[in-house]
Chain A
Amino acid sequence: MGSKYLKQTLEQKISNGEKLFIPYIVAGDGGLDQLEARIHLLTAAGASAIELGIPFSDPVADGPVIQAAGSRALQNGTTLKGVLKTLQAFQEEPTIPIVIMTYLNPIYHYGIEAFARDSADAGIDGVIIPDLPMEEEHILTDAFKQAGIANIRLAAPNSTPDRLQAICQRAEGFLYAVSVMGTTGVAEDHAVEVKQYLQQLKQVSPVPVLAGFGVANPTQAKTLSDCCDGVIVGSKIVELFHQGEEAAITSLIQQSLYSDKTPAHDLS
């Protein structure tokens, strides 16, 4: 469990020639009692790990789909404490890594040390915090090290080369490469520069590189996966769960996954 397990699990798949696919879901959207079933569905579909979003009142990095899902989750009473308790009470432990995506305030208010400890106890392997740039990350470094959970860093297409290098040097678990200049959600085709940026990150990063933001279909997933180690898909998965289109989620994941040995362009 923890940071090492996360990195090793993903690296194992990469060394087998597989591309990675991490679906994002909002904890509590549809009710926390759905969480275990959803994680098992995503696991069975072939997800490499799961990114579990903690709803927040002011999600500035998120687009409309995830904002709406977060509001639904908050309205039905979802709390960070409740999510961690639910994870601990799962009947079957997840068989793939689980990472949390949360804005900083809920964990700051929870108490960073208590959060790190309780997350580790709940089987969380890493945490993605979109409003915590490296300048401020010292606020949780010790607590996360102590608990053995990864602080998963984000890189952006407009990060300067020296920032990208510094981010890569600190990277734990995997690197979350934001692939659009914007918020989460559906994007037009990704620009050539984004592909170059992913390839550059791939060259310098000591951990797997996954592209996220604006990935909504197997074609986009494959195009980006070609430049790095895989993709994170959020808004589309959240939307499909909300619409009850679970079969479509399975097929989106399966169609997006491919092995290096059978390149994407041969499949399509």
Chain B
Amino acid sequence: MTTYTMPTKEGKYGIFGGKFVPELLMPAVIELEQAYTEARNDPAFIQELDNHLRQYVGRETPLYFAENLTKKWGGPSIYLKREDLNHTGAHKINNTIGQALLAKRMGKQKIVAETGAGQHGVATATVCALLGLECVVFMGAADMKRQKLNVFRMELLGAEVRGVEQGSGTLKDAVNEALRYWVRHVTDTHYILGSVVGPHPFPQIVRDFQSVIGNETKQQILAASNKLPDAIVACVGGGSNAMGMFYPFIDDHAVRLIGVEAGGNGLQSDKHAAALSTGSAGILHGTLSYLLQNEDGQIQEATSISAGLDYPGVGPEHSYLHEQKRVTYTAATDEEALAAFQLLSKTEGIIPALESSHAVAEACKQAEKMQTDETLVICLSGRGDKDVEAVQQLLRGDNHGE
């Protein structure tokens, strides 16, 4: 059996990945690649990261046996990997703490980041406050209106939030503007990219920092049930929680891996964010991967109830795993995610992020096809406090419509 070795030293995952960036950014991308290669082989760096993950982030997170949900669905044993219990409420900080330490190691005192709903922005602003780094976060103007509290959180943490009016004023446009800012300030600034997207080495770095999720899960499930899980489900926008969860299991071929994209109003509509399910290969934000694009190669807007999945691209490694058929990619609609959001809240007393609710929705479908002696792990990537207000409005709207 061959061992999984992606990416290649050129940063490729099959035909996907690479570094499609302006020459102005190449020195920074190469510097980052070298710094990361050194850091990951330096026991002192690994120790420092590990200390922060334990003492500051609050790891390890539990792998919780969801007994009520297991009984309700009547199928496999359901386990939830509780990334929602991390400091700042989601898996995002696993990556931001790693990259901020890397920035310090490179002697860069300034950080730029993009954010959609604000979760990655908050996680970045948090570690910048901790480590004394200057922080600028680009956020779409439309997202700033939708997520006022997260804007204030970032400001409270000492970050400067800059609104992006261009395009649709959402995550894709925030990435564009963060990249432009990075070009102008590349000598003293590190870009903390929030997902497994962008030019090499970002997809690899983010995956590696997030793979703490899968590594812990593996040990925990073996301790709990003495065998590997039969299936693992995680949501995919850019795909960082999924990649972090899946990566340690890629060579365990008996473990079925299922990534869930945002189906929005349905894959038949043009309002969704399912790049792998419906898109085609192309180049956006420095990487070759599946994309939502029109017949002229213009990138299309993504639509999802969950701002964190609202991105027209997806990480290149997901594109590779999709083509290799190692991971199965499906989609959950807004409606299904909303139902799962309520289900988990009522059944387990855990309010999941709308992003993670997509994984719960798919897990429900998987459970129907599985046996009672099997186990199913759901990556609960974040908590839903940030979504409560939006969900309240949506549910009220539904009720009025009845």
Contacts and interface: CB of A to CB of B under 8 A. Distances in A.
Given A58-B172, A58-B299, A67-B166, A105 B23 contact: no
B183 A131 contact: no
A155 B187 CA distance: 17
Contacts of B186: 158, 181
B43 interface: no
Given A57-B167, A60-B179, A158-B187, A106 B20 contact: no
Residue among A61, A81, A106, A159 having the largest count of chain B Cβ atoms under 10 Å? A61
Interface in B163-192: 166-167, 172, 176, 179-180, 183-184, 186-187
A59 B280 CA distance: 20
Contact of A183 (B21, B184, B297): B184
B23 A159 contact: yes
Interface in B1-56: 10, 18-24, 26-27
A100 to B, nearest CB: 14
Interface string B242-286: 000000000000000000000000000000000000001111111
Interface string A187-204: 000000000000000000
Nearest to B184: A182
Given A105-B293, A109-B282, A109-B296, A60 B19 contact: no
A132 to B, nearest CB: 6
B184 A181 contact: yes
B298 interface: yes
Interface string B62-88: 000000000000000000000000000
A17 interface: no
A41 to B, nearest CB: 27
B184 A80 contact: no
B351 to A, nearest CB: 34
A183 B26 contact: no
Residue among B24, B291, B293 having the largest count of chain A Cβ atoms under 10 Å? B24
B162 to A, nearest CB: 14
B297 A109 contact: yes
Contacts of A67: 166
A90 interface: no
A106 B183 CA distance: 22
Residue among B176, B186, B281, B283 having the largest count of chain A Cβ atoms under 10 Å? B283
Interface in A93-136: 103-110, 130-133, 135-136
Contact of B23 (A60, A154, A182): A154
B297 A105 contact: yes
B286 A131 contact: yes
B22 A105 contact: no
A158 B189 CA distance: 14
A60 B300 CA distance: 16
Given A108-B282, A109-B293, A156 B20 contact: no
B20 A136 contact: yes
Interface in A16-67: 56-61, 63, 67
Nearest to A135: B19
A178 interface: yes
Contact of A156 (B22, B166, B295): B22
A155 B23 contact: yes
A105 B295 CA distance: 11
A246 B167 CA distance: 28
A81 B280 CA distance: 19
Nearest to B177: A60
Interface size class of B (residues with CB under 8 A): 35 or more
Residue among A109, A154, A183 having the largest count of chain B Cβ atoms under 10 Å? A109
Contact of A106 (B23, B281, B297): B297
B24 A131 contact: no
Contact of B296 (A79, A130, A154, A183): A79
A133 B298 contact: no
A183 B24 CA distance: 10
A74 B300 CA distance: 12
Contact of A133 (B23, B179, B288): B23
A35 B22 CA distance: 27
A160 interface: yes
Nearest to A82: B296
Given A182-B184, A183-B183, A61 B299 contact: no
A219 B272 CA distance: 50
Nearest to A109: B297
B26 A133 contact: yes
A74 B180 CA distance: 21
B20 A132 contact: yes
B134 to A, nearest CB: 18
Contacts of B10: 135
Contacts of B298: 56-57, 74, 106
A57 B21 contact: no
B22 A130 contact: yes
Given A58-B284, A105-B293, A135-B10, A160 B27 contact: yes
Contacts of B27: 156, 158-160, 163
Interface in B288-317: 288, 291, 293, 295-300
Given A58-B299, A81-B296, A131-B283, A104 B23 contact: no
Interface of A: 56-61, 63, 67, 74, 79-81, 103-110, 130-133, 135-136, 154-156, 158-160, 163, 167, 178, 181-183
18 contacts: A58-B172, A60-B179, A61-B24, A63-B180, A104-B20, A105-B283, A106-B296, A107-B297, A108-B282, A109-B280, A131-B283, A133-B21, A135-B19, A136-B19, A155-B23, A181-B186, A182-B180, A182-B183
Given A60-B180, A159-B26, A182-B183, 13 more contacts: A57-B167, A60-B22, A60-B285, A61-B180, A61-B183, A105-B283, A106-B296, A109-B293, A109-B295, A156-B27, A163-B26, A167-B23, A182-B184
